A and B are shown apart, each in its own frame.
Chain A
């Protein structure tokens, strides 16, 4: 039983991180959103597996709630934003080519393993050992945010960061207190809604969602 549990956690963590690397690799906005939904499913699996292992019904319920938000609602909002783009503008335009991006991703994953050593050494349980994968997704998300120049792909990067942080919370402490979890989820939902509305306004005002156009505000 316990080895099944360990395998399930490891497999989920692997899938969670793999989805992050795939997002760095792919360019088409639609597949980015699909991969993000897969990552959301892996995120929901953490409390689900943990809940079954500990016979804790509340954690299983949290897993189901996370799944409906991260697999259902948020990707749906992003798909709507992508659907509003013209056909020839549905690719994100990375500043780096694919090879360089994947190399950077590899470097970030190594960094994540290095910086999470204090966490793993404090409590070397099965779940905590998977924390490096979660922190790797945080770093990959930041990388996607700084290296992509389209509004939707920046939102995808932001949600990756958020997925990584939520995974860290589940793996280290089986989740933050419920009121904080609720508030945080609500905040993320609103942030994505705002980004969605802003994407529409950007397209309406600038005729495009290419963020390289946002250069009018500066000092000198």
Chain B
């Protein structure tokens, strides 16, 4: 069992080491892809093994329960698509002399470490190890965001590193305070283990836990793209290379948020459900509102996708605040569906940017007429984001709405519906100009390599499959909600 827990961490790390030694070649590039596939495979195998009893390994440092399995599947799916697309991306950058062999090697090493850090974050059984892993994702992605070395990329990197490091520092202070409360309740050196904290949460000092919970919410909220420290998000996600944007938007935000789900399970016992619910509702509503406002007047398609991620993270925070089994299960389906769709969209956006040498919405016209494949991929991604059937976000948004109603939060549901309608309109308005109509006379030719086309096709099929046959996963999501101690 320990092997299954170690492979998702060690395989990407080994792929990173391979790239470090032999450089970015076919072999090492495929080793990175294979590592991402192995994360997905371990997630699926663990999914069949974990029941209501979490599997613990490596002296209680690692643990797999239904939530970790869900997150491993998201990391594996998005990771596989992004790493596969990275091969074409780096080939293109090398061919146009935007990067060097050394740059390509650094890219391969960092993307492997990034995957390893995310796997460690979702498999950690210890609040401190979780923190180390999440901070490690910032370190691994810093030079991935700035990989193009332009003025804008550099500006985005600086803001990203400073804001996320500061935010995550607050999470560390929160961790230290929770440890203090745990030690004082007689928990000894294992006072940071999730299961130990959960079991003794009722004995923790409420004043100290309140401080800790506030700091952890702000800290991990920063990394999950939640207001008020969301300002790094659009800059970093728009400047990073497309496969990296896909990983950051599609999984990293959700990985950081899964930390908050685990913390909520402890704090809810120590303080009652009111504290985290209020906190998550405030940041969630603030986040969706800001994101919708910035979607309305957006002129840049990559920033548009980034703000849409922010909107979805806000919705996820609101679903977590509702906290019923239905809402938590719907939230996890939402995370997976959003992850795959955002990957498809960012990869498409990368091809658009390469063809037009621009990320302005106004520069892209009549895409469906110019490239059926790229146009369809972009359109499918947007339709998923809009929450239309037959795709999975239709089901997840409907269930979140029912969850809110079930948690007697009808007023929240009302606000969310209004804001989501505004965001819906903004997305339709912005993307219909890009997709439909006559192409401009000077519109550049869009050429996709065979591999790039295959990635987009697989991404589209994944979106559709999840929408049509999400059945087996629903059981897993409900199990995850139950493991988090949710009832009702």
Contact = CB atoms under 8 A, between A and B. Distances in A.
Contact of B169 (A123, A161, A176, A216): A161
Identify whether the interface residues of B are mostly helix, strand, loop, or mixed.
helix
B176 A169 contact: yes
A173 B183 contact: yes
B131 A119 contact: no
B128 A145 contact: no
A219 B136 contact: no
Interface string B171-185: 011011101110110
A195 B177 CA distance: 27
A202 B176 contact: no
B208 interface: yes
Contact of A165 (B61, B176, B208): B176
Nearest to B180: A172
Interface residues of A, number: 43
Identify whether the interface residues of A are mostly helix, strand, loop, or mixed.
helix
Interface stretch (B71-79, B147-155, B392-400, B450-458): B147-155
B234 interface: yes
Contact of B136 (A162, A168, A187, A205): A187
Contacts of B179: 169, 172-173, 176
Contacts of A179: 61, 128-129
Q: Which of A115, A151, A161, A165 counts the most B-chain CB atoms under 10 A from its CB?
A: A165
B162 interface: yes
A202 B61 CA distance: 39
Given A176-B176, A195-B161, A201 B149 contact: yes
Q: Which of B132, B157, B208 counts the most A-chain CB atoms under 10 A from its CB?
A: B132
Contacts of A183: 128-129, 131-132
Interface string A198-220: 10011001100001001011011
Nearest to B172: A165
Nearest to B168: A187
A162 B207 contact: no
Contacts of A190: 139
B193 to A, nearest CB: 10
Nearest to A157: B166
A191 interface: yes
B155 A214 contact: yes
B152 A142 contact: no
A184 B132 contact: yes
Given A176-B128, A183-B129, A201 B173 contact: no
Interface residues of B, number: 52
A184 B294 CA distance: 35
B175 A176 contact: yes
A142 B183 CA distance: 28
Interface in A162-195: 162, 165, 168-169, 172-173, 176-177, 179-180, 183-184, 186-187, 190-191, 194-195
Nearest to A131: B180
Nearest to A162: B169
Contacts, number: 133
A119 B157 contact: no
Given A145-B162, A168-B173, A122 B154 contact: no
A202 B166 contact: no
Contacts of B184: 122-123
Interface in B176-214: 176-177, 179-181, 183-184, 189, 192, 205, 207-208, 210-211
Interface string A130-167: 00000000100010010000010010001001100100
Contacts of B205: 118, 122
Contacts of A220: 297
Interface in A27-83: none
B179 to A, nearest CB: 6
B116 interface: no
Q: Which of A173, A183, A217 counts the most B-chain CB atoms under 10 A from its CB?
A: A217
A121 interface: yes
Given A122-B205, A122-B207, A187-B132, A217 B155 contact: yes
B189 A219 contact: no
Contacts of A121: 207
Contacts of B176: 165, 168-169, 172-173, 176
A158 B165 contact: yes
Contacts of B297: 219-220
Contacts of A115: 211
A198 B234 contact: no
A184 B142 CA distance: 17
B159 interface: yes
B235 interface: yes
Q: Which of B151, B157, B176, B207 counts the most A-chain CB atoms under 10 A from its CB?
A: B176
Contact of A216 (B61, B152, B173, B210): B152
A176 B208 CA distance: 16
B146 interface: yes
A176 B192 contact: yes
Contacts of A168: 173, 176-177
B195 to A, nearest CB: 15
Nearest to B158: A198
Interface string A6-24: 0000000000000000000
Contacts of A205: 149, 151, 154
Interface string B282-304: 00000000000010011000010
14 contacts: A119-B180, A122-B205, A145-B162, A145-B166, A158-B165, A172-B180, A176-B175, A177-B128, A183-B131, A183-B132, A198-B161, A216-B151, A217-B156, A219-B297
Closest 8 CB pairs of A and B: A180-B128, A118-B207, A183-B132, A172-B180, A187-B135, A214-B155, A169-B176, A217-B235
Given A186-B132, A198-B146, 9 more contacts: A119-B208, A151-B158, A172-B176, A176-B176, A183-B131, A187-B139, A191-B135, A217-B238, A219-B298
